[in-house]
Structure 1
């Protein structure tokens, strides 16, 4: 008992220190946030150390819910609380696996949700058409789409290289009249309306470009086009940089006369009927089912910006979770088998006073499910906290990142943990139910 109290004190101290370390590291400057992984690992160790002390109260809370199962429901929690260390060590395998996967799932779902939300807010076009080979599109693609009855507005993204000072800069030409229906940048200053202002010499840039060249709102920038002609462009707006937006925008009517060859990096279109599959097929027919063209809606854009890689990584992690589940099942089977062996005489006495084989089987199953759910709840709780801490790091590289807790997946994980308990209890429950009463009573 004294060793258990000492262990609990060490575990609580580790948890307190590690939680404070994680919170401090996650809330500090970028260099400090990289330190968050170390206290996070120690936090799991602290939880494992203190798990025996948590098992008793947690199982006691579940006991009233199990009483509806009659005598087996009364005996199961008592058996699970009998050896706290064994129950804790059994639950820890599932707890570690679920904590890691839950934490990474929180980060992955939050990042994917943020990408999708930002894509929807920034790209108001229904589709972006690009080349599958990654090269430019001929202007005929935009001309064809602009004539389609399904399209209400469209704009190419037409690039041209200019020289500004000693640097070569790529400027993106867009349709000044329709771009407001297709893109919605978040402006630090200025607006899209500057593109359609008289003269057509206005240039919009993102904050990264402004910082790189030291340009400010209203500044006039002398440029030399590829054909040698000179012009002066005025900075009419500065918008926050975004992977769904070009770094610069200017009226293509101003840029196009100076281009030796007209090529588009992409074409944005807004349709009458949204971005559904029916509209997609209609646009593909208008483009003669060209296999080299790719039509993407905002969901596709978010996936290409990183959402697909995140989903792939998450699926790989679920594969690792499956391995952890196998280990957890073996641990629960081993624990219950030892428990049945140690309680052979007790089970024999219960059978002698009227406990039926089916009730014996149910008692072991309930004990197994209790242990599995206890480990799952610990893992999910610690995983959500670790997901919050890791999300603080991810928020530096993912614009607009906000933590999202995937309650649906968490519910599936809890249901899976209950299933693990049922499966793990099959053999020990069968063995306990088939014990010979007289032989069991003679056991020392």
Structure 2
């Protein structure tokens, strides 16, 4: 059987090559994601080790505030440097500043969009503790001097002696460039960031942390163990600070970097698994067709004494060979793809030369995934092959072109009804506040509970069940759907169009499997398009309905840890002629304890000045007026309050790293969340309880004096900002909203690129099906030619069949995608004002047109092959 299977592989190598291609692409994506993640993680860890190479101990705060992708610790007073430096065994102690700023170019504009952060740090004068290297020039010696990283200097044509400017927490400052250098032992290992070095005093002031370091680094005397040094330092530190060994600090920092990159890798890997699912469907369809074509061959084997187990084993050998070959090729393609991608990224951000490493575990895992996927996908066709009777070798056996057995129909129908029913229950019955707790929280430490929305879980499961039901019950609906998709061809395509429509419907199971591969990719793309369009439309609509102001000033600094509007800007902007009211807004990550006593996690607290804010933001207030929101109290979104059983006068608990848990009385409720904020606090509540990185305003809402054009005031504010904060931007509300939601569009485009891989893979499935069906229909096509059909008509016939299959996949995938996207947005939109479903008609039309064009592209080669078959050879084909 092994020899027979290997002989079969050689005889069907062309037909199996397209199946192997499905494995190649799936494994290439998965292994490529893993290789990219490992390469970036290893590089980041190497930089961290190099930067802290001479550090034997680190002193840091024990107060931690969690942001989106990292832990933000409170700062350490600069006065502790001398104190720990006097501890027995400490040979040297230095403080390290870490903050963010924007580099302002010679044109007066920021040198980039802010997506690439600019790290501000100080040059440590102790050679053993210095975290970088100077490539050219020297280190900064006065507060007016700066060292820039080589990438920035090259991109902006900045040389030694030139003047550049930085916008930080205290506004705009000018510096003379005295050196070119960066992090690590070479000064060129600044992975994904721009780096500037200042003196310690200037770095602290520019980042808004005057008299504060991010942490202290210590160097031990010779022969002093790191742990011994750490114990001695800990014995002298005040409460709220700790010393850890250099090795532990390096490990902690590496874990944080690895965690952030790991999350990105996992998100990208999802699309790889979707691709493998599509590949599995293609493989199952391919083996099903091949086994149908080999009915007489397999029956003859049975007649010669082969058992059912041997027949199944032979098919499993073929599947394993296809999976192994495809996986190994996929590894190679993934490796080359990552090398190319890293080279491209190097043109955008600073990256050292990195060669991805193919570890034994990665190779074994990729091959295992590819082989297992292929074997599982071929099991059902293989099991069918074992049911072939030996008598089938004696004559032609008609292919099963039915719509499935009665049990299959019943199971498929039950899954479809159950999936849609569960989705409706999630949307209409399950309370929006119901959550499924996975890991309990810790009220003492403020560790948030890990939980998910019950509605989200139920709806997601229902979506998966609905998609699976299509694979099972698809043959029942292919007829009606095929008639809809093929109607234009039947009406305008003449006999060729009518024949193509009938051919696509005459084998419902095969058409279902082929269309399903494309439907999965289209469904995900459509769901994301609907979800993002609804999110963008609702956010814009909510702000437009609520915001009475005409202008918004934004910081221009990306991310909450990259700072906000400099403190000095407020007075200058408020003094601008034409401004009537200005309301500040600050966003603070915090952990709010729910009614069950567990931290809820993921909460966002907005700091405001109540009077100006509520005069510019139109929301119904319950239980008071703006004056009710006094210092030391909190306002809560009414839906959040109802979900937790809170009312005015109750207290809620907010965890801050500096003070621990703080109780605030609820003094006011407001209907409808403002943007996405469910908790509002006076600004006076926040400065003493938040990390330095969060003590800057993110936005100003502004209304203009009656009779004054907003555009005129925008120009005046921009003139002010150019002098003190060029990275900040004043915009009229519609323009600001467009820029704000553009981030969603960018993220969606990146997702579309990854989904494009899945859709491309599904098109190979159409090519594969058509190619194999043409081989199967050689005699039929020859007879068509013999009765007068031209090559052009045969070519058009196969192309039309391809378009119909692609159209079915696009139509079904689009319908499922609209349902999934609208439902998912509904269950996740609890904290969005004016949440409404928006259908992105242009994108849906593009997807539909793209499906038709994809069908033409996928069918071109099989159609060309079909049209070129010699008539006599085709008619006589057995």
Do both share a fold (TM > 0.5)?
yes
**Would the alpha carbon gap of residues 434 and 146 (structure 1) be closer, same or farther in structure 2, given more than 3 Å must change?**
same
Partner residue in 1 for 2:728: 293
- How far did residue 267 of structure 1 move? 3.8
Q: Which of 835, 849, 854 is residue 401 of structure 1 equivalent to?
A: 835
Match of 1:42 among 435, 444, 465: 465
**1:155-304 matched pairs, under 5 angstroms:** 155-157=582-584, 172-173=608-609, 180=615, 182-188=616-622, 206-207=635-636, 216=648, 239-240=670-671, 241-243=673-675, 247=680, 265=697, 266-271=699-704, 272-274=708-710, 280-289=714-723, 290-298=725-733
Q: CA deviation at 1:125?
A: 2.1
Listed as ranges, the matches of 1:64-103 within 5 Å are 64-66=487-489, 67-103=491-527
Q: Return closer, same or farther for 1:248/1:174 CA change in 2, 3 Å cut-off.
A: same
How far is the alpha carbon of 1:156 from its aligned partner?
A: 4.9
Total equivalences in the alignment: 395
Aligned-residue offset at 1:285: 2.2
Deviates more, 1:278-287 or 1:202-211: 202-211
Matched residue SS, 2:584: strand
Write the deviation string for residues 376-410 of structure 1: whole angstroms up to 9, x where unpaired. Answer: 11111112222233123212233332222222211
User: Aligned pair in 2 of structure 1 residues 156, 348: CA closer, same or farther (>3 Å)?
Assistant: closer
Q: Matched residues in 2 for 1:61 and 1:292: separation?
A: 54
Please identify, of 133-142 and 387-396, the stretch whose mean Cα deviation from structure 2 is larger: 133-142
In structure 2, distance between residues paired with 1:139 and 1:320: 44
1:437 lines up with 2:861 in the alignment: no
Flag the 1:304–1:174 CA change in 2: closer, same or farther, 3 A: farther
Deviations 1:230-267 (A, max 9, x none): xxxxx9975345247893579x9xxxxxxxxxx98354
Rounded Cα–Cα distance in structure 1 between residues aligned with 2:676 and 2:463: 34
Distance in 1, Cα, partners of 2:647 & 2:419: 45
- Which of 25, 28, 35 aligns to 2:430? It is 28
Structure-1 residue corresponding to 2:351 = none
Residues 154 and 179 in structure 1, CA contact (< 8 A), matched pair in contact too: no
Q: Do the aligned residues in 1 keep the contact of 2:783 with 2:871 (CA within 8 Å)?
A: yes
Deviation (angstroms), 1:47:
1.0
Contact 2:609–2:682 (8 Å) recurs in 1: yes
In 2, distance between residues paired with 1:173 and 1:61? 59
Pairwise CA distance, 1:74: 1.4
Against the structure 1 CA distance between its residues 367 and 158, is the aligned structure 2 distance closer, same or farther, given a 3 Å change threshold?
Answer: closer
Mapped to 2, the partners of 1:432 and 1:54 lie a distance apart of 28
Q: Do 1:146 and 1:153's aligned partners in 2 also have CA atoms closer than 8 Å?
A: no
- Deviations along 1:36-63, one digit per CA (max 9) or x if unpaired, are 2222211111111111121122223344
Residue in 2 that maps onto 1:14: 415
Matched, 1:423 2:854: no
Identify which of 800, 816, 823 aligns with 1:366. 800
Q: Which digits, 9 at most, give the CA deviation of each residue in 1:310-347, with x for residues without a partner?
A: 43442233123211211111111111112222222221
CA distance in 1, matches of 2:538, 2:420: 26
Cα deviation 1:424-444 (Å, max 9, x = unaligned): 011011111112122222222
Name stretches of at least 5 consecutive residues in structure 2 with no aligned partner: 1-401, 436-453, 587-604, 650-665, 685-694
Query: Do structure 1's residue 115 and structure 2's residue 115 form an aligned pair?
Result: no
CA shift at 1:186, angstroms? 3.3
- Cα displacement (A) at 1:423: 0.3
Instruction: Show the counterpart of 1:125.
Output: 549
1:351 to 769, 785, 805: 785
Structure 1, unpaired ranges of 5+: 160-168, 196-200, 218-234, 253-262
Verify the 8 A CA contact 2:635 2:667 in the aligned structure 1.
no
CA RMSD of aligned residues (A): 3.8
Q: Tell me the distance in 2 between the aligned counterparts of 1:170 and 1:342.
A: 66
**1:321-375 deviation digits (Å, cap 9, x = unpaired):** 2112111111111111122222222212222222222221111111101000101
Which deviates more from structure 2 when the two are superposed, residues 34-43 or residues 86-95? 34-43
Cα distance in 2 between the residues matched to 1:369 and 1:434: 20
* Match for residue 60 of structure 1 among 483, 488, 494: 483
CA contact (8 A) 2:770 2:859 kept: yes
Is the CA contact (8 Å cut-off) linking 1:325 and 1:420 kept in structure 2?
A: no
Asked if the contact 2:563/2:696 (under 8 Å) is kept, the reply is no
- Equivalence map 1:130-169=2 (5 Å): 130-131=554-555, 132=557, 134-135=563-564, 137-138=566-567, 141-143=570-572, 146-148=575-577, 151=578, 153-157=580-584
**Contact 2:803 2:856 survives alignment (8 Å):** yes
Q: Distance in 1 between matches of 2:794 and 2:479?
A: 22
SS in 2 for 1:28: coil
- Tell me: CA distance 1:128–1:340, structure 2 relative to 1, closer, same or farther (3 Å): same
SS in 2 for 1:247: strand
Structure-2 separation of matches of 1:379 and 1:114: 24
Deviations 1:86-141 (A, max 9, x none): 11110010111122222232222211211111122222323222544635545665
Higher RCO structure (Cα 8 Å, ≥6 apart): 1
Distance, in Å, in 2 between the alignment partners of 1:236 and 1:75 is: 73
